[in-house]
Chains A and B, each alone.
Chain A
Amino acid sequence: MVRFMIRRLLAAIPVLWIIVTATFFLMRLAPGGPFDKERRVSPEVEANLRTKYCLDCPLWQQYLTYLGPLNLNPGQGGVKAFGGDGSRPWSGILTGDFGPSFKYANRSVGSIIAEGFPVSIHLGGMALLFAIIMGMVPGLVAALRQNTAWDYGSMSAAMLGVSIPNFVLGPLLVLVFSLTLYWLPPARWDGPRYWILPTITLGAIYAAYIARLTRGGMLEVVRQDFVRTARAKGLPESLILWRHTLRGGLLPVISFLGPATARLLTGSIVVEKIFLVPGLGRYFIDGAINRDYTLVLGVVLFYSSMLIMLNLVVDILYGFLDPRVTYD
């Protein structure tokens, strides 16, 4: 197991490298740059900006500079912008410095992530918890009481959850709980009262997916031979459930949860914008829209590391839940 983990973590390095490289060049292929605005900057000023961020060097040089720590032509043409805390020139991601943000020039990408991530984890964690509880419980109930009102009720709720996108659910919740009943604040991120609506909005669709997948997975397993055997042996239902059914039945949920957790923990632009949550999620889209190259690379790198870690966790859980899965 340990060897397996080490192997996977080592394999993550080329994966991350490919992601960074592909993202870097893809971004540069897209038209427009970080300093294009409606009001055009004068050509001289633009030239100054480009020099500052080394945007006028050949692409491969910029790429190597981004990776660091080899700055190919220090002195001239190198990056004059400052990374990290702004006290020393930017040295590239290999040194752990994600560089300066193009858009929020007052901040480094590292500090933007450091500021946004705790909030995203907080919201994402709560939403994940909400999704798992609100997904698995009805999903299990629905599976165990197939074709009953419980089943129809929870599955209809799940379908509603899937069919109401978060950009509708959020405003709907606000409309009811904030603007009509005046129970909860409509937005902002200032304390428990403020956390409730974003958590539900973010978690609802995942809860719905989990409910559906749980039910589907459980039904699949319930019919399988070993469960039937167990039942035939006269084992108590609860034991069958916990020992046998759950393990196999949750496999699809687990594989869904890997990427879903990564996505939940890195935030969602829709929920963050609707509820003014200062999380990370917005930067995936906003960074791309602003062509904030370093910020996009930073969050992508961050997200993919998380994704890889969580997928590894999922694969380990697989081995734990299903003894037939082996890693060789």
Chain B
Amino acid sequence: MTERMKSDHPGQAEKGFSLWQDAWRRLKRNRMAMASMAVLGALLLFSVFGPFLTGHDFDAIDLDYGVREPNFQHFMGTDLQGRDLMTRIMYGGRLSLAVGLVATLVSFLIGVAYGATAGYFGGKLDNLMMRFVDIMYAIPYMFLVIILLVFVDGLKAKYGWEIDTIYLLFIALGAVQWLTMARIVRGQVLSLRKKEFVEAAHSIGVSSMGIIFRHLIPNALGPIIVYSTLTVPAVMLEEAFLSFLGLGVQAPQASWGTLIADGARAMSVYPWLIVFPGLFLGATLFSLNFLGDGLRDALDPQTRKV
């Protein structure tokens, strides 16, 4: 892939071609990445519009019908309460995709900015910022979530505010996922900041912000993107734990995370309850992964230099 792209791309990007436009043009040539995008788009469509087509409600229980293997009425079978699994996966996809992408984005933004700042300035500031990360790592997350919930419940009771827990979910997930990201970015920046091109930028008077965002981060983008694509599944599964605490999806709704967690229990008896949600999660991951690789290649300043 990279070989091909190198030859396709002569010279420095001209004015008018920003880094992103440039990258987009290159990404379009990466077939794997484009296929992945198509898959992701399909998953999104499946989740958003699918429920209207299945002819089943996600919460229509039928105790007498009960749990059934995949059949022509229910392509992916039904769960213990006789609910159509496919419809539930579609609904779950809405939430899981949103959570996965938004929380990852949040962690990406915070983590990259934080890590790069710490790594670039180094010294005392770096020390201080990294110690804060250590603290955040160590404080039991569960209590933070419980208190957040209690606090919001209190607000509800007091002022009648209705806050959709999904926003809280983004906050709660984003709040921890950026930590490792920050450490990784800082490590990268720490090793990059003494490099010639940074020194050069420095000497021609580029501001610190400029150096960080134009030079350091693009150069560290590889691991950042890799880690981001890894964050998506982590976030989707973490969401299942948070819904245990009462944050996130409320029954009878489901997310891929909770469907998988429920299915894991019944794995040896009703394997389809785990296989299907698992496949969807897997498909999302594989596409994100290839998309991530493509993005990395497309954004890589090293390939541009050639």
| A and B in direct contact, judged by CB atoms within 8 A | yes
Task: List residues of A whose CB falls within 8 A of some B CB.
Answer: 8, 11, 14-15, 18-19, 22-23, 26-27, 29-31, 146-147, 155-156, 159-160, 162-165, 167-168, 171-172, 175, 179, 208-209, 212-213, 215-217, 219-220, 223-224, 248, 251-252, 254-256, 258-259, 284-285, 288-289, 296, 300, 303-304, 307-308, 311, 318, 322, 324-326, 328
Give the nearest-CB partner of A324 in chain B: B194
Residue-by-residue, is B99-137 near A (CB-CB < 8 Å gives 1, otherwise 0)? 000000000000000000000001100010011001101
Please name 5 pairs of A and B residues whose Cβ atoms are closer than 8 Å in the assembled complex, sorted by A: A22-B135, A162-B234, A212-B226, A300-B140, A304-B138
How close is B184's CB to chain A, nearest CB, in angstroms?
5
Contact B138 A311 (CB under 8 A): no
Q: Please determine whether A11 and B127 come into contact, CB atoms closer than 8 angstroms.
A: yes
Interface of B is mostly: helix
Q: Which residues of B contact A296 (CB under 8 A)?
A: 140
> Which residues of chain B come closer than 8 Å to A325, judged between CB atoms?
190-191, 194
Q: A255: which of B183, B230, B267 is its contact (CB, 8 Å)? A: B183
Do A19 and B135 have beta carbons less than 8 Å apart? yes
Question: Contact flags (1/0) for B130-150 with A, using CB distance below 8 Å?
Answer: 110011011110111011001
B281 part of interface (Cβ distance < 8 Å): yes
Chain B residues whose CB sits within 8 angstroms of the CB of A322 once the complex forms: 190-191
**A171 touching B282, Cβ below 8 Å:** no
Chain A residues whose CB sits within 8 angstroms of the CB of B138 once the complex forms? 19, 23, 300, 303-304, 307
Inter-chain CA distance A56–B232, complex, in Å, is: 44
Alpha-carbon gap, A294 to B51, bound state (A): 48
Q: What residues of chain B lie closer than 8 Å to A22, measured between beta carbons?
A: 135, 139
- In the complex, the 5 A-B pairs of residues with the closest C-beta atoms, listed nearest first: A304-B138, A255-B187, A252-B223, A216-B226, A324-B194
Report if B260 contacts A (CB, 8 A).
yes
The residue from B187, B223, B264, B300 contacting A167, defined by CB atoms under 8 A apart:
B264
CB distance from B282 to the nearest CB of A (A): 5
* A11, A208, A212, A322 interface centre (most CB from chain B within 10 Å): A212
Q: A165-B260, A219-B222, A322-B191 are in contact. Are A19 and B139 (CB under 8 A)?
A: yes
The answer to whether B282 touches A163 (Cβ under 8 A) is yes
Q: Closest approach, in angstroms, between the C-beta of A292 and any C-beta of chain B?
A: 12
Task: Give CA–CA (A219, B138) in the complex, Å.
Answer: 32
Shortest C-beta distance, A288 to chain B (Å), equals 5
Closest B-chain residue to A15, C-beta based? B131
B89 at the interface (CB under 8 A from A): no
Known: A220-B222, A259-B180, A325-B194. 12 other contacts (CB 8 A): A15-B134, A18-B135, A26-B140, A27-B140, A30-B143, A159-B289, A162-B233, A164-B278, A251-B191, A255-B187, A300-B140, A307-B138
Nearest opposing residue in chain B for A287, CB measure: B140
Cα A162 to Cα B184 in complex, Å, equals 18
User: Do A217 and B223 touch (CB < 8 A)?
Assistant: yes
Write the B142-183 contact mask toward A (1 if CB under 8 angstroms, else 0): 111011001000000000000000000000000000011001
Asked whether, in the complex, the Cβ of A259 is within 8 Å of the Cβ of B222, the reply is no
Per-residue CB contact flags for chain B residues 264-291 toward chain A (1 = under 8 Å, else 0) read 1001100000100010011001100100
